[in-house]
A and B are shown apart, each in its own frame.
Chain A
Amino acid sequence: MKWVFIGIIVAATTVGEVLQAMGMRRHGEIRDFRPGAIGRAVTVLARNWHVVGSVVAMAVSFFAYLALLTVAELSFAVPATAITYVLETALAKYVLKEQVTWVRWMGASLVICGVALVSL
């Protein structure tokens, strides 16, 4: 059962975070942090289907994570979900067309190993 939850979490997190990056990149840089401007940005973003889809996917991932924690230890849950770093960095390169230099791959790899060591 816990592997089903892991599968749901990894898929939903990856899809959610890539959609979020896609939607926000399409929206453009947020420069004005006054409350009125933030309110206007929220109304614009509520009609951005990438952003709406990302929130739905991240909610699915959140509830699946709560469910996972009832059947598995945190020390199993955290490293098992760290696989999303690999998937998302690959998608950042091929879907979001970011310039993922070897420095970033190195950084992401160090973080993945570190997360595994900290939580195992």
Chain B
Amino acid sequence: MHPESARLRWKTWCCAALVVFSNVFGNFFLKRGMPAELSTPSAYITVLFRPLVSLGVLLLILWLASRMALLSWADLSYVLPVTSIGYVLVAIAGRVLLNEQISAKRWLGIFLIMAGVALVSGATAPQTAPSETEPQGARQ
């Protein structure tokens, strides 16, 4: 593999892992900390000061930042399927941490998501659009 594309792929995988983990754990803490209902508009603001909710929000800020960094070089049509491995982690975390049952239908869904992720991440390069170092339209 060309050194430049190897560097980009390695960097992409590290950043994608950060995107996935911050999203999965951010949402997990957010759901753990959320009350059953939000009755008034001000409740949407005060809920942000609960400890688990603020931890979740901090992780989601990290998610936003790492996703922005990833999109500064990788295509959206690459990032979308690859980061969806988070759905699989959520299902497996539910099984391991919360002892939830995974039905046959769910296992099939997990398999399909992993196949989609493997296909896009293994068979396509993160970046196919022209980058800023090339003249516009050079690879169109």
B63 nearest CB across to chain A (Å): 10
B56 nearest CB across to chain A (Å): 11
**Quick check: B76 and A98 within 8 Å, CB to CB?**
yes
B94 nearest CB across to chain A (Å): 10
Q: Which residue of A lies closest to B113 (CB)?
A: A114
**Quick check: A109 and B116 within 8 Å, CB to CB?**
yes
Residue B50 at the A interface, CB < 8 A?
no
Contact with B along A85-110 (1 / 0, CB 8 A): 10011011100111111011011111
**Quick check: B112 and A113 within 8 Å, CB to CB?**
yes
Q: Which residue of B lies closest to A21 (CB)?
A: B76
A85: B residues at CB distance < 8 A: 80-81, 84
Q: How far is the CA of A58 from the CA of B60 in the complex (A)?
A: 11
**Quick check: A28 and B132 within 8 Å, CB to CB?**
yes
**Quick check: B76 and A103 within 8 Å, CB to CB?**
no
**Quick check: A104 and B77 within 8 Å, CB to CB?**
yes
B140: A residues at CB distance < 8 A: 97
**Quick check: B81 and A108 within 8 Å, CB to CB?**
yes
**Quick check: B124 and A101 within 8 Å, CB to CB?**
yes
A44 nearest CB across to chain B (Å): 11
Q: Which residue of B lies closest to A112 (CB)?
A: B116
Contact with A along B53-74 (1 / 0, CB 8 A): 0000000100010011101110
A24, A96, A114 — which one has the most chain B CB atoms within 10 A of its CB? A114
Q: How far is the CA of A116 from the CA of B120 in the complex (A)?
A: 19
**Quick check: B72 and A111 within 8 Å, CB to CB?**
no
Report the 7 A-B pairs with minimum CB-CB distance, sorted nearest first.
A117-B109, A110-B116, A114-B112, A114-B113, A118-B109, A107-B120, A111-B116
**Quick check: A107 and B117 within 8 Å, CB to CB?**
yes
Q: How far is the CA of A107 from the CA of B140 in the complex (A)?
A: 22
Q: How far is the CA of A91 from the CA of B76 in the complex (A)?
A: 9
A25, A67, A104, A111 — which one has the most chain B CB atoms within 10 A of its CB? A111
Instruction: Find residues 97-127 in chain B having any chain A CB closer than 8 Å to their own CB.
Output: 105-106, 108-117, 119-120, 123-124
Q: Which residue of A lies closest to B111 (CB)?
A: A114
B87: A residues at CB distance < 8 A: 78, 114-115, 118-119
Q: How far is the CA of A101 from the CA of B129 in the complex (A)?
A: 12
- Assuming the contacts A97-B129, A107-B117, asked whether A114 and B123 have C-beta atoms less than 8 A apart, the reply is no
- Assuming the contacts A29-B72, A85-B80, A98-B76, asked whether A110 and B119 have C-beta atoms less than 8 A apart, the reply is yes
